[in-house]
Structure 1
Amino acid sequence: MELYNNGIDLFTNSCERLTYNYISFCRNLCLSGLSQIIYTSHIAEPFKRDKIHRITGAEQCFSELEYLYCSTNTSQEILEGFSTISRSIKKLEFDVSQIHYNAGIIKLIESQRNLNYLSGNLGKKDVSFCKVLEDTLIKHANNIQYLKISWEPVTKILSYLGNLKSLEINSRHITNWDHLVNASTPNLKILRTQNIPSKILANFIKNTKGHLTEISIQFPMYDREDKYPGENNNSLIRSIYENCLKLQYLKLSINNDDIAEFEKLFINCQHLDGLILNNSTRENFNWVDLFNSLTRSAPASLYKFKFIFNGDILLSTFSSFFDNWKRNRKDSKPILLKIFYRMDFTQNHKVLFNEYKNEGIIKTFSYDPAEFGFDEFEWT
């Protein structure tokens, strides 16, 4: 396009057929990106006349495709076409935020032989589409190991996915979670959720059979009239430390009422390596008690921290935490610390943290006032 915009057209003359079939080595395809090229690029005129799956040689080129991404602007016809020529897709991602029902996606899923990863985003929940989609996924129950969806299940699909290792549910809606309460996922290792009530999650975690190593939970703010009213996290934290003894990474909101249960979690979860705690409420959170619990009871494996909070933490509170860590945690590695602090991080903070860094208590620290660039369980 840059050459063409500058008056250089390499395609005014017909081009000879390539002597080597480079596209036959294609294993990953983003139909959304390809569609954008086709409808904006001068050099892609032939694709506007013929659908990609109808081009001569498409079956040979895409028969071993392993990854496919499609979005709202991917037509049903193209997806149905790929369902006939691409049956080796292992990883499928779709985003149909503007279209509720796309039968092409269903046919594409049905035709796969070894689909083990699915990521689906729906802009607005369509119950009939979700049911057909989930029923179709159940047919792949033996293969699917990674599932990421933007809606609450409308069937008992999770209980069928016995080999599921990673589950992510990012629902935008406060809704009915009945199909999650008694779901059993005995091989689940990674759980990430948004907007699911703690009581529902507590029951769900009990049925994971002790294999969870990574948990990331973000809560909504429920109104009093909701089916799941606001509640503390005690039952959820208890479920975690009773059923997740292999836990390595945890992200969770915390309130003052949760600190005592968190100390029990520190004692029971002896493989905990990284901890992200979020207190973004307006309450006067007791960081002193939390830090004392950490220095008193955290496992030797724990040294990676991210703290997200609104209010002030006194310099003396940080100083006491680092001093107690030095005194009580002689077997622990130097701390990796990231702070997401919705107030000014002063020069005094930097001086204090650098002092403990020079002493070897802190290995690295960083500060972000608004959680920009937040990448959950990455500390590098």
Structure 2
Amino acid sequence: MFNYLLFIKHLEATAISSMICDGINYKSADKRYHQFILEEEIYKLFMSECSLKSLELDHIKHQIHHFPGAYRCLADLVELNTNSSIPSEIFFGLSRICKRIKKIYVYFDYIDEENYGFVKLIQVQQNLKRFVCTKSFDNNNDPSEELGLALTSCSQTLTNLESRFKREIFLPPRIFPLFRNLKILQLLNDFLSESYEEQLQVSSYPNLEILYIKNISPYTISKIINSTTGKLRKILIQYNIGDYSNCLIQSIIEHCPNVEILSLIIDMDNLLYFVKLLDSCRQLKGLLIRLSDENYKYRIDEEREKDGKRFLNALLRSSRHLFQACYSDTTISMKCVIRHDELRLYPP
């Protein structure tokens, strides 16, 4: 008989739990008991027959590392998608087996205390490339010093760091200058305190290719860009217009000759820096422009169309080779009325 289990490389705990729950017809107490037993037997079967590359663990109740065959099944794991609410004991067990994980995605539930098992799992990794942490709720927990310290032990191999938090990052600010080998940095948080900005300003990312960051000052962004070495291909940034906005554009001109995708805030009264940028960044394929004028939304269509023409004239004078068409909310033509303070430009 052919053993199909040998070909399974990805396992989702959520899918297993959901299928069992839907298929069991017992009353509440008995259903929970039989669900637990059946899940246990299924995990034992997978541990004994599979060699997994990817594992999704979400609210798992079983210490799968104790099941027969667990070492052979999990030793070559390269991707883990998990949740901070999983008991430390399970992570401690995995840390004895899984030492070559390349990608870790973790969702932080409400945090009362450090999950030392998860910290240990990070600490023992020998080739961690990507770390993505997400937290959608809002609380006032301090940054995780232990987790930050564990991540620094992977600083030589880590090339992709992503944080998507409701408010501030759950990682201590002092660790960011240590990740010099980053190729991708994404900080999509609703708030960044001054301490994070200070540490990012003194960080150096010579290999950075993608920068996606929001709620940060243009000065800090310009300092990050100044630390790069011309490899940036994508810059997606959300910031408040300020005294250093032109300085930011100048940094892109000087340090990003190969940028392909770019978002910026432009002051329509000063297109000089924007024209210089178009002359310098010859690889541009996509551009998202936002206007800085707070009163712009109150202007009539005729004024918006006039500004659109000014913008397009600057665009065409400097970079006719870059864009074949201009797309706005309502038109696909060389006549452009900027609406909703935004203009999108990219090839057809």
SS at match of 1:127: coil
Listed as ranges, the matches of 1:258-297 within 5 Å are: 259-279=271-291, 281-283=294-296, 284=299, 286-297=307-318
- Which residue does the alignment assign to 1:210? 230
TM superposition score normalised by structure 1: 0.67
Deviation at 1:77, TM superposition (A): 2.6
- Which residue does the alignment assign to 2:163? 149
- Letter of the aligned partner of 2:97 in structure 1? I
Q: 1:31 to 1:141 in 2, by over 3 A?
A: farther
Q: 1:116 to 1:35 in 2, by over 3 A?
A: farther
Cα separation, 1, equivalents of 2:7 and 2:73: 4
- Which residue does the alignment assign to 1:15? none
Q: 1:36 to 1:117 in 2, by over 3 A?
A: farther
Please tell me whether the aligned partners of residues 167 and 191 of structure 1 are also in contact (alpha carbons under 8 angstroms): yes
SS at match of 2:211: strand
Deviation at 1:75, TM superposition (A): 3.0
**Per-residue CA shift, 1:325-372, capped at 9, x if unaligned?**
xxxxxxxxx43x554x3xxx4xxx4xxx4xx6xxxx89xxxxx99x9x
- Which residue does the alignment assign to 1:45? 36
- Most deviating of 94-103 and 265-274: 94-103
SS at match of 1:277: strand
- Which residue does the alignment assign to 1:175? 193
Cα separation, 2, equivalents of 1:379 and 1:30: 39
TM superposition score normalised by structure 2: 0.73
Q: 1:69 to 1:241 in 2, by over 3 A?
A: same
- Letter of the aligned partner of 2:251 in structure 1? S
Q: 1:133 to 1:97 in 2, by over 3 A?
A: same
The equivalent position to 1:59 in structure 2, one of 67, 71, 79, is 71
- Most deviating of 79-88 and 184-193: 79-88
Question: Structure 1: which 5+ runs fail to align?
Answer: 1-17, 221-228, 304-333, 363-367
- Which residue does the alignment assign to 2:5? 22
Cα separation, 1, equivalents of 2:201 and 2:327: 34
- Letter of the aligned partner of 1:119 in structure 2? V
Please tell me whether the aligned partners of residues 327 and 345 of structure 2 are also in contact (alpha carbons under 8 angstroms): no
- Which residue does the alignment assign to 2:54? none
- Letter of the aligned partner of 1:210 in structure 2? G
Q: 1:62 to 1:199 in 2, by over 3 A?
A: same
The equivalent position to 2:142 in structure 1, one of 127, 143, 152, is 127
- Letter of the aligned partner of 1:127 in structure 2? D
- Which residue does the alignment assign to 2:121? 108
Q: 1:206 to 1:35 in 2, by over 3 A?
A: farther
Please tell me whether the aligned partners of residues 184 and 204 of structure 1 are also in contact (alpha carbons under 8 angstroms): yes
Question: Structure 2: which 5+ runs fail to align?
Answer: 25-33, 41-60
Residues matched between the structures, number = 298
Listed as ranges, the matches of 1:1-380 within 5 Å are: 20=3, 22=5, 25-26=8-9, 28-30=10-12, 42=24, 44-46=35-37, 47=39, 50-99=62-111, 101-122=114-135, 123=137, 124=139, 126-129=141-144, 131-150=145-164, 151-152=168-169, 154-176=172-194, 177-219=197-239, 230-231=242-243, 233-257=245-269, 259-279=271-291, 281-283=294-296, 284=299, 286-298=307-319, 300=321, 302-303=322-323, 334-335=324-325, 338-339=327-328, 341=329, 345=330, 349=331, 353=332
